[in-house]
Amino acid sequence: MDELLDTCSATTLVPACAERAWGELRALLDHLWPGQTEVLQACAGRQLVHAVRDGDEPDVWLTWVLEPLGPHATRVVLHLDELACNAPEPELDVVLLALLSRCVPIAR
């Protein structure tokens, strides 16, 4: 049986420069999917494409696009491509919310 590829996208604005958002994004991947992420393409501070493995073969691919909007703002678009609805938790909106929470300045 052929498997279908499902695609969806979500977008958020983070209150950080693209460089900081990139660093937080890379740390988030290690937190959400430790040892399961394989980077396929990376352009630092701009775009990251990676697969998430749940076993031997990846069946989920995520593409992150970072667009600087100023010194303290970055638009992040996350595209998810998955085979037969096998995306690992969490959902896209939850992933972007986790990135957003990592980028929010902490008041001291």
pLDDT digits (tens, 9 = 90+) for 30-61: 999 898 899 999 999 999 999 988 777 787 89
Give the CATH class of 5-103. Answer: alpha beta
Residue-range domain boundaries for the chain: 5-103
Q: Which of 8-22, 65-79, 81-95 has the lowest mean pLDDT?
A: 81-95
Quick one: pLDDT at residue 83?
A: 78
Residue range 80-97, pLDDT digits in tens: 998 765 555 568 888 889
Full-model pTM: 0.84
Quick one: pLDDT at residue 9?
A: 92
Side-chain half-sphere exposure of 84, counting CA atoms within 13 A: 5
